[in-house]
Amino acid sequence: MARLPLAIWKGPIPSSNYAAGPTTKIGTVHHVIVGGADGALATFKNGANQVSAHFIVCGPGDSSPDGTIWQLLDTGDCCYAQANGNYPPTAYIGIETSGQPTTAMTAAQCEAMAQIDAWASTTHHFPLVGPVAHGTPGVAAHCNPNGTPDPAWGNHSCPGPARLAQIPPIVARARAITGTVPSPSTKDAAHMISATSTGLGYYIAHSDGAVFAYGDAKYLGGCNPGASAPFPAGVTAISIEAHPGGGYYVLSSTHQVYAFGCPYYGAPAS
């Protein structure tokens, strides 16, 4: 049985609302309920609806505290949440989040999502990258990575722009939980370094955008292939700078700024 230890078990749900496994899962999919967790649970418990998710993450106003994780299905089973993304060979784990597509997830919800993604990646052996294109291993949104609806996945814009934008930092947090750091794709000697504000740690950046954290520095993502915000082909890193309030900036050879755990204020037009 594949059940997240942190989750509260809310199953079983009717057999008409899912396909029994076990089946291979290639990633997770982030959804928004457009409502509350309790209403979604009632929907998934109604056998006439033929819809479900593996997890629900509660938010403010739900019967469980903000950030509480409910699990309804063993992750070896197939939920009915994202059409073509429900079934092998491109079956994903569906995660519904309480709230609206016009609002961002709370900090507690983001941490819960990272915990689910980290556990699922370790349990089902898929990479912590995203948002990925549909059919690709990793962390996906119900919509396409650019926010447009995918007809093959139900033609939805879910989870909305605000929550779609939260996927990269959630993936970075999941990587930190699992201790996974992408390796550089090249072996040249171009490295850059920036100390943390405490003087007790530092970040080293590789030319392909890989970031390594030492001491009290915390890895929050990088720009190398397989990381949370990979550079386009042919682009390299030219500097890294730690932010006094935490996090860091990576500057690319096209003068674009990539912010990890700190505010982004814009960059020159390329």
pLDDT tens digits along 81-124: 999 888 999 999 999 999 999 999 999 999 999 999 999 999 99
- With DSSP H G I counted as helix, E B as strand and the rest as coil, what are the percentages for the chain, rounded to 5? 20, 20, 60
Identify the pLDDT of residue 29: 97
How far is the C-alpha of 116 from the C-alpha of 49, rounded, in Å?
A: 25
How far is the C-alpha of 204 from the C-alpha of 252, rounded, in Å?
A: 15
Instruction: Tell me which residue of 210, 228, 46, 214 sits closest to 129, measured CA to CA.
Output: 228
pLDDT digits (tens, 9 = 90+) for 32-84: 999 999 999 999 999 999 999 999 999 999 999 999 999 999 999 999 999 98
How far is the C-alpha of 262 from the C-alpha of 107, rounded, in Å?
A: 15
The edge-to-edge listing of strands for the beta sheet with 8-9 is 8-9, 69-71, 55-57, 93-97, 27-32, 138-141
Identify the pLDDT of residue 186: 54
**What are phi and psi for residue 185, nearest 5 degrees?**
-90, -10
The model's pTM is: 0.70
C-alpha distances in Å from residue 99, one per residue of 55, 163, 164: 14, 10, 13
Instruction: For the chain, list the domains and their CATH numbers.
Output: 8-178 (3.40.80.10), 191-260 (no CATH)
